[in-house]
Amino acid sequence: MLQRNNEIPSQGRLAIVNLSNYHLSEVEERVLSKGLTFVPTSRHFPFQFHVDFEKFIRSLQLRMFFKDFKSAFSDCVAKSTWIPPGPLNPALLIFKQLVLQDVEQLEVSQYRGRSNMSKEEFLAIQKLKNETSIVIRKADKGGAILVLNRTYYLDEIHQQLSDVNTYCKLREDPTFDVLIKIQELTNSAVQSGFLTKKECQFLCHLHPVTPILYTFPKIHKKLEAPSGRPIVSSRNLLLERICKYTDFSLRPLVQCIPAYIKDTSHFLQRMAGLCIEEKTLLVTLDVHSLYTSIPQAEVLEAVEGALETRP
């Protein structure tokens, strides 16, 4: 475990960085080192397993049924409950039976009071969960787990939100008003033939949740009092489906941009074809608060121009 003023842990090695005033016990360190995605063994519920397994079998059925179809339609529609007609494919039926047999044996042999953690570790999780003076977060880069004072964590977020050039305080929740505008625009798009009725129903999220903001501390830039990368959870957010539809519509256009880089592998493939001289310097740029610094008016103008010129 690293305390204040220690070196940043090397990438690829999970480490615990304690920047709080809370003293972690050896057991608590061991629990945190398992990672924030670690799931303690819970009681087995056969009914829930069979529900999930039937959903998985249905997804395999759909893949097999539509394997020869090349659809160009939008995938931005509400989830269907349709199941392909007829009996199961023989190979899929055998797979299902074998899995159920294996699960039945596991229920007998492995789910008899077995646990993937000790009693002390379980109590340590409960203690960390109930400790109100700290916040536990994943580092922005490097994979380390940070323990921060809750007061510092909240103060840092409030400092970011106090930037009047980026954020503004709302007098009331605008969710309902925004939903009405979305319904008006999507209904108009249906009438003009731009959207289908299914896409319209998909885009109008009638039961959205309030978004939650949290941050990932950037200890790779500064270990002492690190700033946080703001993340807004978009799951079931009012605009989540519109974002998905926008991504679906713009993806083919973005891939045609000469400067488009899909991922690290794509970058390495493009670099492999370049002839770099000995004295050439490779330079990278880091934009401070990239997403909140993007000029929205220029983005809309660029998107509109790209849509008008598409085939």
For position 8, what pLDDT does the model report? Answer: 45
Q: What residues pair up with 16 in beta bridges, in sequence order?
A: 145
Which residue type sits at 305? G
Residues with pLDDT less than 70, the chain: 1-14, 43-44, 68-75, 107-113, 311
Q: What angle do CA 124, 130, 136 make, to 5 degrees?
A: 80
For position 11, what pLDDT does the model report? Answer: 42
Quick one: tokens of 195? 């959207």
Residues counted in the chain: 311
Q: Strand runs (DSSP E) across the chain, as ranges? A: 16-18, 134-138, 145-149, 212-217, 228-233
pLDDT per residue as tens digits for the range 94-129: 999 999 988 887 766 555 557 788 899 999 999 999
Distances (CA, A) of 39 to 35, 42, 43, 102, 292: 9, 8, 12, 22, 34
Q: Which long-range contacts (CB under 8 A, 24 or more apart) does 122-130 make?
A: 122/40, 123/27, 124/25, 124/27, 124/28, 124/30, 124/31, 125/31, 125/40, 127/28, 128/28, 128/31, 128/32
Q: Which residue in the block uniquely carries the two structure tokens 């121009």?
A: 305
Q: Which long-range contacts (CB under 8 A, 24 or more apart) does 278-286 make?
A: none
Give the contacts of 69 (CB within 8 A, at least 6 positions apart). none
For position 72, what pLDDT does the model report? Answer: 45
The pTM score is 0.70
For position 273, what pLDDT does the model report? Answer: 77
